Amino acid sequence: MARHENATESSLAPDAPLALERVSIAGASIAIITLSRPEARNPLDAATVKSMRSLLEGFVDTADVESVIITGSGDSFSAGGDLKAYQTLFCDPEAFSAFLVDFEAVCDVLERSGLISVAMINGTCVAGGLELALACDVITIADDAQIGDGHLNFSQLPGAGSSQRLVRAIGAQRAKYWMLSGRLFEPAEAVDAGLALLLSPQSELRTRTLEIVTDLCRTSPLARQRMKELVSYAHRSLLQDGLAEEQRVAVEYAATSHDATEGLNAFAERRQPKYKGR
C-alpha cells in the first residue's frame, strides 16, 4: 500500500463481477474498481458493464470521488466481451444495442466527466478491455501485460469505440495495423505509441499509478472538468472551432468560477489554494 494511503474495501456483493475499494491519499478521494472474474479473464459482459455504469454515474452524482482507477484481478485486465454470451446476444439486436449503449455510457463518464480516470492495466487487455482503457484519461501498464484490439481474431467488430478512439490515440496507420492484425503488443510498444503513459514493474504498478492520480487531483475539480471537456471537444471539431470554444470557456470560467479567483488569490498571498469545485 502506498505511503499515507488509507483504504476501505467494500465489495459490491460476494459474487459481484466488480469489487470496489475506496482510497484516500493526501486528501484525494479515489475509487478503485476491479474487474473480478479472473477465471473468465474478467469479461465485460452485460451485467458487468451495467454495474460499472451504475457505479460511475453514482460517483458523478454524489461528487464524493475525485478519481477512478479501473484494473483487473488475476493475470488479466480484461479480455473483452463474453464470446459465449454473444452467441445469444447476437440473436437479439435490441439487447445487443442496449449493451452497447451501457458500454458507451461508461466510456462517456470516464472520458468527459470531472473524474480523473485511469486504466491500470495489470495483465491481458484486449478488445472491449482496450475500448474501456481508451476512454480513460491515463493508461498505466505492467511490464508483463499485453495489449491489443483483437476483434478480428474472432471475426468481430468493435462496438464501444476502439475504431474511433484508437485512431485518435496512436494515429491512423498504426491503429489500422493494431486492428487489422489482431496482434497483442508488448507494454513498451504501447508506451512508444503514446497509448500508455507509464510502464511499471507489476510489483510497483499500484503505487506508481496512485502517485500519478494524487498529483492530478491537486488542482481544482471544476478546472479539471473544463480542461477535459476542451480536450474532448478537440477530438470532434475543426481547429478553428476548438480555438473559439477554448476562448469561450476560458472567459466564462474566469468570470464565474470561485476556483479561478481562488487560484490567483492563493498565488498572490503565497498560500495553498482552497478549491471548492465551483
pLDDT tens across the length of the chain (278 residues): 454 666 655 655 556 789 999 999 888 899 999 999 999 999 999 999 999 999 999 999 887 899 999 999 999 999 988 888 888 888 888 988 999 999 999 999 999 898 999 999 999 999 999 999 999 999 999 999 999 999 999 988 888 999 999 999 999 999 999 999 999 999 999 999 999 999 999 999 999 999 999 999 988 888 888 988 898 888 888 899 999 989 998 898 888 988 888 788 788 888 888 887 77
Grid cell in block for residue 129:
478491455
Contacts of 219 (CB under 8 A, 6+ apart): 275
Question: Are 193 and 170 a contacting pair, CB within 8 Å?
Answer: yes
Distance, in Å, from the CA atom of 29 to the CA atom of 121, rounded to the nearest integer, reads 21
Question: Are 118 and 138 a contacting pair, CB within 8 Å?
Answer: yes
Helices (H), the chain: 46-62, 83-89, 93-112, 128-134, 162-170, 172-181, 187-192, 205-216, 221-235, 239-256, 258-269
The pLDDT of residue 207 is: 95
Crossing angle between the packed helical segments 221-235 and 93-112, to the nearest 10 degrees: 120
The pLDDT of residue 273 is: 83
Contacts of 191 (CB under 8 A, 6+ apart): 141, 197, 198, 199
The pLDDT of residue 144 is: 95
